């Protein structure tokens, strides 16, 4: 969560920092702040509750400085207000700190500082870092930061300015991303490459327990104990234009509309027609090891978890290996039995989701084999896992996930086919699934061409006080993801249930004011699903069906083209993204920045 930007060079820092904050606002947008320096003397800082534009309006006309750090916040400790916004300063105004993460022992550190006469200006956990660094008498800024971090328990990605050391920014990472951008005689710092790509595509990603000193012409990396490390630059694959809105009114609409091309990318170069399978070179899992897998456990949070449910279904159907998905946020706390014959798969769009990363680290500690399914090359989960699949969805700026969810589901289809063909899936079935995968991009485009009709349906349901989503087997994770999307962007309460569970309690909620969205594919459960529609209509419930053919008992039906039954869930989720989008649009919601949420959840 939250966004960090830093700059050091010869240019005026403030405009560059504000530009970076605007690109990172999807990571947090309840307050923002900036601090600049570049020559000996007190730092200058401005902070504001609200969006980056409100911070920009508060900046004085003369706010020069060639070194600076800035932050856009998603609140964890303390209300969104000017005082709790970052950067935080020490008592003398010499130290400025921006921080992502959570300091677990902040109450004890605050009490200690207060007892020593320090006046704390905010309610945040982050402010203690500025005072700890400011009160240090160590000779170098690096030693002062290291000394403060030795007192801290928790997670952090930080950037530090000190007016006595105007030629540098010191950064550190433990559980929250920090990236350096290398340009010509200037350097950038960020929590996300989105803030860097318009200036450089050469980046260095810090690992946990790593720090860096950033100066205009160079950088050096080292551990929090002071030992030098050799973090090498890599090239970012995404172009700056990928982060622009591209003529759309919102990023969410842009990213929904990009899904045909995104799915084509995740398939490109991976299909192996000769053996009716796919090539997944990043797995680091040979055929003998794959045949030794007795179970697959998929871990993710939110939409990543729901895509994992689709993946588990695909793995069981195509590879005939028992598979299930579980929220990583629960798995990491429950002292799970780690089986050496189980293959674990961690799913995260950002590759930095803290709960999922912590689950990966616990699994690795216990000797498990863990693969990653992520979108961001070089992210923490990509580095921590034994291998994996990049989903190649491209940058996703809207807080809610659409194209990355779809590409992740396709990536699981590729993995399931790969595993199935190593085991017992026939050549004929392999070719059938490959043909279905190849049809997906054009079928997604066909669904998107029906947007106008879906928008009209959304307007009809925007007055609902609550909505029910139901689906059986393959349709259930589709229903769960669709309910999540509607909640996130429209703020309409929505719940998802297996269709067979409706009669075991939730049916009590059915009434005209609580419509039901039913996933009704043409599979072997079609008649069972139609019976569910009858139960709902008998209680005067309104029904919106997502189906392959018109459903007589539904008030509205959104038609989706048929694919192979195993791949149908991927297509059936697309119109429900548009339903959520147009419902939120009809209600006047801030679609790209839904309340209380932010992208890339790097806190517990």
Kindly tell me if the per-residue pLDDT of 535 is higher than 60. yes
- Known active-site residue 599: yes
- Residue 197 pLDDT level (bands cut at 50, 70, 90): confident
What's the confidence (pLDDT) of residue 27?
75
Whether cis (ω within 30° of 0) applies to the bond prior to 599 is: no
Q: Active-site residue among 2, 301, 398, 404?
A: 2
What's the confidence (pLDDT) of residue 560?
98
Kindly tell me if the per-residue pLDDT of 40 is higher than 70. no
Residue 191, judged by CB atoms within 10 A of its CB (0-12, 13-18, 19+), counts as buried
What's the confidence (pLDDT) of residue 195?
85
Two tokens, residue 392: 């190649």
- Residue 4 pLDDT level (bands cut at 50, 70, 90): very high
Q: Which of 121-130, 239-248, 387-396 has the lowest mean pLDDT?
A: 239-248
Query: How far from chain centre, in Å, is Cα 271?
Result: 27
Cα–Cα distance between 84 and 73 in angstroms, integer? Answer: 9
Output phi, psi for 8, to 5 deg: -145, 130
- Comparing CA positions, the residue from 600, 283, 253 lying closest to residue 454 is 253
Q: By three-state DSSP, how is residue 521 classified?
A: coil
Residues 333-346 have a mean pLDDT of 94
What's the confidence (pLDDT) of residue 379?
87
What's the confidence (pLDDT) of residue 76?
78
The secondary element (H helix, E strand) that includes residue 150 is helix 141-150
Residues 362-376 have a mean pLDDT of 95
- Residue 39 pLDDT level (bands cut at 50, 70, 90): low
Residues 200-208 have a mean pLDDT of 92
Contact between residue 190 and residue 201 where contact means Cβ atoms under 8 Å apart = no
Q: By three-state DSSP, how is residue 444 classified?
A: helix
Cα–Cα distance between 178 and 175 in angstroms, integer? Answer: 9
CATH 3.60.20.10, the chain: domain bounds:
3-243
Residues 137-163 have a mean pLDDT of 95
CATH of the domain spanning 3-243:
3.60.20.10
Number of C-beta neighbours around residue 322 at 10 A: 14
Supply the mean pLDDT for the chain: 93
**17-43 burial code (b ≥16 CB/10 A, e <16):** bbbbbbbbbbbbbbbbbbbbbbeeeeb
Report the share of the chain in percent with pLDDT over 70.
Answer: 98
Residues 22-40 have a mean pLDDT of 83
Q: By three-state DSSP, how is residue 221 classified?
A: strand
CA distances from 576 to 377, 483, 501, 557 (A): 29, 9, 21, 12
What's the confidence (pLDDT) of residue 181?
94
Kindly tell me if the per-residue pLDDT of 12 is higher than 80. yes
- Residue 28 pLDDT level (bands cut at 50, 70, 90): confident
- Residue 242 pLDDT level (bands cut at 50, 70, 90): confident
Cα–Cα distance between 106 and 152 in angstroms, integer? Answer: 8
Cα–Cα distance between 445 and 241 in angstroms, integer? Answer: 22
Q: Which of 40-54, 147-161, 564-578 has the lowest mean pLDDT?
A: 40-54
Residues 312-341 have a mean pLDDT of 95
- Residue 156 pLDDT level (bands cut at 50, 70, 90): very high
- Residue 175 pLDDT level (bands cut at 50, 70, 90): confident
Kindly tell me if the per-residue pLDDT of 23 is higher than 90. no
What's the confidence (pLDDT) of residue 596?
84
Q: Is the dihedral of CA 449, 452, 453, 454 positive or negative?
A: positive
Contact between residue 259 and residue 448 where contact means Cβ atoms under 8 Å apart = yes
- Known active-site residue 398: no
- Between 237 and 550, residue with greater pLDDT: 550
Kindly tell me if the per-residue pLDDT of 537 is higher than 90. yes
What's the confidence (pLDDT) of residue 241?
74
**158-180 burial code (b ≥16 CB/10 A, e <16):** bbbbbbebbbbbbbbbbbbbbbb
- Residue 219 pLDDT level (bands cut at 50, 70, 90): very high
Residues 547-551 have a mean pLDDT of 97
What's the confidence (pLDDT) of residue 293?
95
CATH 3.40.50.10490, the chain: domain bounds:
245-447
What's the confidence (pLDDT) of residue 530?
95
Q: Active-site residue among 49, 485, 593, 599?
A: 599
What's the confidence (pLDDT) of residue 473?
95
What's the confidence (pLDDT) of residue 501?
92
Kindly tell me if the per-residue pLDDT of 457 is higher than 60. yes
What's the confidence (pLDDT) of residue 1?
62
Kindly tell me if the per-residue pLDDT of 82 is higher than 90. no
Length of the chain: 604
- Residue 602 pLDDT level (bands cut at 50, 70, 90): low
Number of C-beta neighbours around residue 419 at 10 A: 26
Q: Which of 260-264, 313-317, 394-398, 482-486 has the lowest mean pLDDT?
A: 394-398
What's the confidence (pLDDT) of residue 29?
78
- Residue 290 pLDDT level (bands cut at 50, 70, 90): very high
CATH domain 245-447 topology = Rossmann fold (3.40.50)
């Amino acid at each position: 969560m939250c966004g960090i930007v830093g700059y050091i060079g010869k240019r005026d820092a403030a405009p560059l920092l504000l530009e970076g904050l605007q690109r990172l606002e999807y990571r947090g947008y309840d307050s923002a702040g900036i601090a600049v320096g570049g020559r000996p003397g007190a730092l200058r800082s401005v902070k504001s509750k609200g969006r980056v534009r409100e911070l920009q309006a508060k900046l004085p006309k003369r706010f020069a400085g060639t070194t600076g750090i800035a932050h856009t916040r998603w609140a964890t400790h303390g209300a969104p207000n000017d005082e709790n916004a970052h950067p935080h300063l020490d008592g003398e105004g010499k130290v400025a700190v921006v921080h992502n993460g959570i300091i677990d022992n902040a109450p004890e550190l605050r009490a200690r500082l207060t007892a020593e006469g320090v006046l704390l200006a905010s309610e945040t956990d982050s402010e203690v870092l500025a005072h700890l660094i400011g009160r240090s008498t160590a000779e170098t800024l690096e030693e002062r930061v290291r000394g403060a971090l030795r007192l801290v328990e928790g997670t952090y990605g930080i950037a530090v300015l000190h007016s006595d050391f105007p030629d540098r920014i010191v950064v550190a990472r433990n559980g929250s991303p920090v990236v350096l951008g290398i340009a010509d005689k200037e350097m950038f710092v960020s929590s996300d490459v989105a803030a860097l790509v318009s200036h450089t595509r050469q980046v260095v990603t810090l690992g946990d327990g790593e720090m860096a000193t950033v100066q205009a012409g160079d950088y050096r990396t080292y551990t929090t104990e002071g030992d030098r490390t050799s973090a090498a630059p890599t090239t970012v694959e995404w172009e700056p234009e990928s982060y622009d809105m591209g003529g759309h009114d919102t990023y969410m609409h842009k990213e929904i509309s990009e899904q045909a091309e995104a799915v084509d990318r995740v398939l490109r170069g991976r299909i192996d027609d000769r053996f009716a399978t796919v090539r997944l070179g990043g797995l680091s899992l040979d055929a003998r090891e794959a045949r030794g897998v007795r179970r697959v456990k998929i871990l993710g949070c939110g939409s990543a978890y729901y895509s994992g449910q689709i993946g588990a279904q695909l793995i069981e159907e195509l590879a005939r290996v028992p598979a299930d998905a579980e929220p990583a946020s629960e798995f990491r706390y429950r002292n799970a039995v780690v089986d050496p014959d189980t293959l674990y798969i961690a799913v995260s769009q950002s590759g930095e989701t803290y709960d999922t990363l912590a689950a990966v680290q616990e699994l690795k500690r216990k000797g498990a084999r863990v693969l990653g399914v992520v979108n961001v090359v070089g992210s923490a989960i990509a580095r921590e896992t034994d291998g994996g699949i990049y989903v190649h969805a491209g940058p996703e700026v809207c807080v809610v996930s659409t194209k990355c969810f779809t590409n992740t589901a396709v990536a699981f289809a590729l993995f399931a086919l790969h595993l199935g063909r190593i085991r017992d899936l026939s050549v004929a079935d392999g070719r059938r699934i490959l043909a279905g995968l190849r049809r997906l991009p054009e079928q997604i485009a066909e669904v998107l061409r029906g947007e106008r009709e879906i928008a009209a349906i959304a307007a009809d349901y925007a007055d609902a006080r609550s909505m029910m989503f139901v689906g059986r087997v393959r349709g259930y994770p589709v229903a769960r993801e669709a309910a999540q999307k509607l909640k996130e962007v429209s703020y309409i309460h929505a719940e998802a249930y297996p269709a067979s569970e409706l009669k075991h309690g939730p049916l009590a909620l059915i009434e005209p004011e609580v419509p039901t969205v039913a996933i009704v594919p043409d599979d072997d459960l079609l008649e069972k699903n139609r019976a569910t529609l009858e139960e709902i209509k008998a209680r005067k419930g309104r029904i919106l069906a997502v189906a392959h053919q018109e459903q007589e008992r539904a008030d509205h039906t959104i038609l989706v083209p048929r694919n192979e039954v195993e791949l149908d869930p991927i297509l059936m989720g697309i119109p429900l993204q548009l339903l959520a989008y147009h419902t939120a649009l009809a209600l006047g919601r801030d679609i790209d920045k839904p309340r209380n949420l932010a992208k890339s959840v790097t806190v517990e």
